[in-house]
Amino acid sequence: MTISRRKMLTISVGAGAGLLLNELPAFAQQQPQLMRAIPSSGEMIPAVGLGSARTFNVGPPSPEWVPLGDVVRLFHEMGGRFFDTAPSYGTSEQVAGQIAQEIGIHNDLFFATKISTRGGLEVGIAQQEESFRDWGREVIDLNQVHNLQDTAIHLRTIRQAKEEGRTRYVGVTTSFGRQYEQMEQVLRSEELDFFQVNYSLGEREAAERLLPLAQDRGIGVIVNEPFNVGRLFGAVSGRELPDWAAEFDCQSWGQFFLKYILSHPAVTVIIPATGDPEHLVDNMGAGIGRLPDERTRRRMEEMFDNL
């Protein structure tokens, strides 16, 4: 799909953007975002990132682009940097790339994308080239083999780009429990900067073997589906946040779910997705203030399991 840049300019950042920015809560302007070190380099990055799988797959310019422009701008304004996308997310990579270029922050964001094909070497290389174009970037910060598709082939492509200085970090992803065994083998045998996996209060299996293994091997952990694709909100629908959530500076269910993940010692970055600027502000709040300790984490699990 080709989106006319001129058309995009007229629609993606709405008149409401400035208003919303002025309404940023004081906490967001005064307190720093939680930072984590990338194990392989020591580079510090903000721990709360942004996903884009469904939320940015909105097709050609339309009114739907207006809140997405606000989401990207607010994310950056509140100290966010890590943006996760993929060429296989419909128009997401292109839409996000055009919005970021329009705002002028495309080189300031940490651009994480994927090679996402079983079509072989050439198709993977073509996807990589398209990612550079979609974001107007000369360097991709992180390229990942998506869902362990043709892992050996695409790792070669990504490593080649790293050697050429066109990609900074190498990773692999999954969000399927059935791939955990294979992922374990990959984590044990490959030199990786990052691995990405689904982990949340509703899906805790990755913490059994994969997260400790990544920590031991010095591989950064990116957590996808932190709300279990939004299902966690359904599980607590109509329930009050417990009083003790205040003990770790938590003001909403969204922050409750995200702070649970951020408090796992192996986790480097989380990538909650949203197309709603108010939810974005809420989610960025998870990177501010205290985190639950080990005892409180157990309490959160018990509470969730007894819903």
Ligand X SMILES: NC(=O)c1ccc[n+]([C@@H]2O[C@H](COP(=O)([O-])OP(=O)(O)OC[C@H]3O[C@@H](n4cnc5c(N)ncnc54)[C@H](OP(=O)(O)O)[C@@H]3O)[C@@H](O)[C@H]2O)c1
Q: Which residues bind ligand X (CB under 6 A)?
A: 51-55, 84, 146-147, 173-175, 196, 224-230, 233, 254, 271-276, 279, 282-283
Residue number with CB closer to ligand X (98 or 147):
147
Picking from 99, 116, 100, the residue whose alpha carbon sits closest to that of residue 108 is 100
Residue number with CB closer to ligand X (76 or 279):
279
Which tokens hold the place of 53? 């799988």
Residue number with CB closer to ligand X (17 or 71):
71
Which tokens hold the place of 67? 């809140």
Residue 9 Cβ, how far from ligand X at the closest point, in Å? 24
Residue number with CB closer to ligand X (254 or 292):
254
Residue 293 Cβ, how far from ligand X at the closest point, in Å? 23
**Amino acid at residue number 51:** G
Residue 144 Cβ, how far from ligand X at the closest point, in Å? 7
Residue number with CB closer to ligand X (42 or 192):
192
3-state SS, residue 59: coil
Cα 93 from Cα 56, distance rounded (Å)? 8
Picking from 48, 112, 52, 107, the residue whose alpha carbon sits closest to that of residue 75 is 48
Task: Locate the DSSP E strands across 101-219.
Answer: 110-115, 140-145, 167-173, 194-198
3-state SS, residue 158: helix
Residue 221 Cβ, how far from ligand X at the closest point, in Å? 13
Residue number with CB closer to ligand X (58 or 273):
273
Residue number with CB closer to ligand X (190 or 225):
225
Residue 295 Cβ, how far from ligand X at the closest point, in Å? 25
The alpha carbon dihedral of 68, 74, 77, 81 has a sign of: negative
Helices (H), 81-120: 92-103
**Beta partners for residue 154, in sequence order:** none
* DSSP one-letter string for 54-66: TTT---SS-TTHH
The alpha carbon dihedral of 189, 192, 196, 200 has a sign of: positive
Residue 71 Cβ, how far from ligand X at the closest point, in Å? 9
Residue 113 Cβ, how far from ligand X at the closest point, in Å? 10
Which tokens hold the place of 88? 């296989």
Contact 86, 113 (CB under 8 A): yes
Residues in the chain: 307
Residue least distant from ligand X (Cβ): 51
Residue 4 Cβ, how far from ligand X at the closest point, in Å? 26
